[in-house]
Amino acid sequence: MTKYSVYILCNLTKTTLYVGVTNNLRRRLWEHTNEPKGFVKRYRVNKLIYQEHHDRIKDAIAREKQIKRWSRSKKDNLIAMFNPDWHFLNRDIL
């Protein structure tokens, strides 16, 4: 059964966030790092700092949209609950 991931990336200085959804986090993270496009390329947003999993794509997309609407401080709090030190998690996935 496919799991769907909602994830948050940041840039090296942790000043810009990107929220996304995918059915293959490893592949998507590789793409963001090695073949960046658009927003990800412009702001060099490729450091994984948050992830959560859902069984249904509908739920994952709804959650992604919810998080995208949040203020920066609310996103920061979500990240801090999952990853208090804001460690880059790329190696854990790749």
- Domains in the chain (CATH in brackets) are 4-93 (3.40.1440)
What pLDDT is stored for residue 17 in this prediction?
A: 97
Confidence of residue 1 (pLDDT cuts 50, 70, 90): low
pLDDT in tens, 39-67: 999 999 999 999 999 999 999 999 999 99
The pTM of the full predicted model, rounded to 2 decimals, is 0.94
What is the 3 state secondary structure string of the chain?
CCCEEEEEEECCCCCCEEEEEECCHHHHHHHHHHCCCHHHHHHCCCEEEEEEEECCHHHHHHHHHHHHHCCHHHHHHHHHHHCCCCCCCHHHHC
